[in-house]
Amino acid sequence: MTITVDRLSKWFGHKVAVSDLTCEFTPGVTGVLGPNGAGKTTLLRCMVGLLRPSEGSVSLLGVDPHRDPSVLGDVAFVPEHEAVYDAMTARQFVTFNARLLGVRSADAVEHALETVDLTAAADRRLAGFSKGMRQRAKVASALVHDPKVLVLDEPLNGADPVQRARLIELFIGLGRNGRTVLVSSHVLHEVERMAARVVAMIDGRLAAMGSVVELRNLMTDVPRAIRVESDQPRALAAAMMATPHVQSVSLHGEAVIADVLDLAGFARAVPMLAARQGATVTRLRPQDESLESVFRYLVGR
Amino acid sequence: MSAAITIGTMIGRRLLQRRVAGVLVLLASAPALVLAITAEGAQPEGFHRWMLFLYYALGLPILALVTATAALGDERHSHTLPYLTTKPVPRWSIAAAGWGAAVAVSTMIGAIGVGSAWAVTLVRTGDSSVAWPALVGTIITVVGYAAVFVPLGLLAKQATLIGLGFVLIWEGVIASAGRTLAVASLWRTGLSGHVALAGVVPTDLVESLGNLTPGAGGALAKAGALAVASLALTTWLLRKRDLVKE
């Protein structure tokens, strides 16, 4: 395991930000999700040693970052705040971070700037940068030492759609290359695009952890929405309602959306129902295996 | 060590680039202005006297306060501290960098004040010997104040205000009220070095020291001991305290 969080709790006065959270992170991209105040930022800050756990522990590459900060040489952290050293240029900012990480190579700095598409603006002061450009400068400074672990708190904030897409591709690539990448974000479809696994937090607690499909499969008490496209949707909908596998149906043009209680039974029944009705099923796909639907369920329950 | 230099250089530049740096230069240069326009500027004693009233007792503590509280305080309160504390850098390096930058920048600005007062005195009296005791006194004073105000800046958001209370109430009123408490005054420690090195000085300066014996070595040792304690405290704060908001 690259990062191990063991029974972590963190409170500030009477406010509990993270409560008894245990999870592990392996190479690849993991999305950290949760509504505002869920404790995502506190969790990430504990991981990189910015906050001390009130209880429990965090281990980074087998080491407690508080006891041995040298482990931070293999870690990169992009903080949520857009604060940077305004008087520095992007190149100076990345160079400054590189020096603190023991990287002396100017090529590494140039490569990091190039990776986030900031070469042309490298000699402009950060004070004049847009929020998205600042984010990219922060990401460049995080990449300059080729870290094993990247902890990124809302790294896509303020980035324009093109840059978002580039950064997402970058994070996916880092994950594929064996880096452990943790990304917190509010934008669910972007997390879904880049993260193989998600950790969902609600009120400081771990609400769920796993792939989106795994999480959806765990939600056995919620009917699954299956979209069935057919040339005779009305007849098919009526036939479906007669089976014990379906709780309700609704018609959407050529499609029937069935709230299915027993997915396996439903899958077996649909071909027979279609044959009996003389209907042709052209497409059948789950409607709610998106991260958004899973997340909406987790937050709402 | 190289990390401390990198961080110290960055903090030093940041401190010098602030708008308030210009105001601090003017504050430190106040004795030069007085010496230029008053009759006292025509005597070497005038240099020492106005350095006491305007520089040691007021200008230098304030410039050291404003600079030292900002050294690591600005890092914390402007949310840039994580760029330092999430790096594989020993915490003592960050503490030393903040303290070193505060001392260097305060000394630099103080030296402008001393230099300008010296230049006026040189022109009006022809005496060139007055500057270096004041420079030594500046360094001793700044080392002591940085030891107090660097950790204060890291701890408290209103550090400058709290520090101003310390300078004006503790040092300005309480420590001035009795001869015994004068020993605990930081600017008087610096002044004791100045007095010891200057030789002949107006009696006002010796009187203001209270029970403090003039001596540069002792003053430097006292300021140095404070600095070591301060570095230990700042390092401890960086290790043990949560220095980012929830």
The pLDDT of A39-58, averaged and rounded, is 93
Residues of A in contact with B2 (CB under 8 A): 99
- Which residues of A, range 20-59, sit inside 8 Å of B by Cβ? 42, 45, 48-52
Q: What does the alpha-carbon distance between residue A18 and residue A130 come to, in Å, rounded to a whole number?
A: 32
Place of tokens 């070469």: A119
Residues of A in contact with B80 (CB under 8 A): 83-85
Residue A220 above 70 pLDDT? no
pLDDT one-digit tens code per residue, A271-293: 999 999 899 999 988 877 666 66
Q: What does the alpha-carbon distance between residue B130 and residue A152 come to, in Å, rounded to a whole number?
A: 57
pLDDT one-digit tens code per residue, A11-30: 998 899 999 999 999 999 99
As a whole-number percent, the residues of chain A with pLDDT over 70 amount to: 94
Question: What mean pLDDT value characterizes chain B?
Answer: 92
Q: B68: which 2 tokens?
A: 């030292």
pLDDT at A300: 65
Question: Which segments of A83-199 does DSSP mark as H helices, in order?
Answer: 90-100, 106-115, 131-143, 161-176, 188-194
Does any CB of chain B come closer than 8 Å to the CB of residue A100? yes
State the amino acid at position B132 in one-letter form. Answer: W
Residues shown for chain B: 246
pLDDT category at A157 given cuts 50, 70, 90 is confident
pLDDT one-digit tens code per residue, B31-73: 999 999 988 878 878 888 888 889 999 999 999 999 999 999 9
The β-bridge partners of A15 are A12
The pLDDT of A229-254, averaged and rounded, is 90
Question: Which segments of A144-262 does DSSP mark as H helices, in order?
Answer: 161-176, 188-194, 212-218, 233-241
Q: How far is B245 from chain A (nearest CA, A)?
A: 9
Q: What does the alpha-carbon distance between residue A273 and residue B239 come to, in Å, rounded to a whole number?
A: 68
Q: What does the alpha-carbon distance between residue A188 and residue A169 come to, in Å, rounded to a whole number?
A: 16
Nearest Cα residue in chain A from B236:
A66
**Cβ A50–B90 below 8 Å, yes or no?**
no
The pLDDT of A40-69, averaged and rounded, is 92
- What radius of gyration, in Å, describes the C-alpha atoms of chain B? 18
Residues shown for chain A: 301
For the question of whether the overall pTM of this predicted structure is more than 0.90, the answer is no
Q: Which residue has the higher pLDDT, A81 or A131?
A: A131
The pLDDT of A116-122, averaged and rounded, is 94
pLDDT at A190: 80
Q: A121: which 2 tokens?
A: 């603006």
Question: What mean pLDDT value characterizes chain A?
Answer: 89
Q: What does the alpha-carbon distance between residue B117 and residue B47 come to, in Å, rounded to a whole number?
A: 7
Q: How far is A173 from chain B (nearest CA, A)?
A: 24
pLDDT at A85: 93
The pLDDT of B27-34, averaged and rounded, is 94
Residue A62, exposed/middle/buried by CB under 10 A (0-12, 13-18, 19+)? exposed
Residue B201 above 80 pLDDT? no
Query: For the ranges B175-184, B217-226, B231-240, which has the lowest average pLDDT?
Result: B175-184
Question: At B70, which helix (H) or strand (E)?
Answer: helix B60-77
Helix (H, G, I), strand (E, B) or coil at A26: coil
pLDDT one-digit tens code per residue, A79-93: 987 789 999 999 999
- Which residues of B, range 28-87, sit inside 8 Å of A by Cβ? 78-80, 82-87
pLDDT at A81: 79
ipTM of this predicted structure: 0.88
Q: What does the alpha-carbon distance between residue B218 and residue B208 come to, in Å, rounded to a whole number?
A: 17
User: A165-198 as b/e, with b when 16 or more CB fall inside 10 Å?
Assistant: ebbbebbbebbeeebbbbbbbeebebbbbbbbbb
A141-155, A241-255, A284-298: range with highest mean pLDDT: A141-155
Residue A259, exposed/middle/buried by CB under 10 A (0-12, 13-18, 19+)? middle
Residue A301 above 60 pLDDT? no
pLDDT category at A218 given cuts 50, 70, 90 is low
Inter-CA distances, B207 with A194, B178, B179, Å: 73, 11, 9
What's the farthest any 2 CA atoms get from each other in chain A? 74
